[in-house]
Amino acid sequence: MSNLNHQRIHSQVKKWLEEEGVYEITPWKNPKTHFSFHVRSKRKNDSPPIMFTYPKKFKIKDTIIIGCGWIFEDVDQKGFRAVKDRQLKMKLFRSVKVKVEPKVKLELIANNYNLERMNAYRFIRIDELTKDNVILNLGLLVLVWENIKEEFKNQNESGSFNALDNI
């Protein structure tokens, strides 16, 4: 695909997001991509920015990745360390992954002591790229992200694992 086509795709996706009137779009330079930018809601800035990126080399050719990452806050770190039972920690991970993975790809990065990072992402093939598909996937990531945070909050407060039933 020519550089002109990458620019056209980039412009089209940004145009669709701008037409919605609710997103802030911030460019993100990455030499390994044809283009990358962050998208954040103008109304609700407590959710992480969502990255749109079109990698130059990726195992699935002609694919845009839409995703977000969360570096856990100190309160989450303390809550995780307070739970000494490794099986309970794994129950939290399984609870989140089982409910989320059919909808998005999820990576939980942790060790026995700390929650380090979580990434949630979706793929859109270029030949399936439409405004509706972009908006739907963006909305799905926001919804999943809000429910993941609620699941961790519930676990920290009560040991309950049920917030993701709303997805």
Domain ranges of the chain: 3-166
Higher pLDDT residue, 133 or 112? Answer: 133
Query: pLDDT tens digit string along 13-66?
Result: 999 999 998 888 999 998 999 999 999 888 765 667 899 999 988 877 888 999
Please choose, from the candidates 114, 48, 107, the residue with its C-alpha nearest in 3D space to the C-alpha of residue 75: 114
Please choose, from the candidates 165, 80, 63, 64, the residue with its C-alpha nearest in 3D space to the C-alpha of residue 117: 80
pTM above 0.85, yes or no: no
Q: What is the enclosing helix (H) or strand (E) of 52?
A: strand 50-55
Phi and psi torsions of 33, nearest 5°:
-125, 155
Farthest-apart Cα atoms in the chain, separation: 54
Question: The domain 3-166: what is its CATH number?
Answer: 3.30.1460.10
Query: pLDDT tens digit string along 114-135?
Result: 666 778 889 999 999 999 999 9
Alpha-carbon span 62 to 120, nearest angstrom? 20
Compute CA 25 distance to the chain's CA centroid, rounded to the nearest angstrom: 16
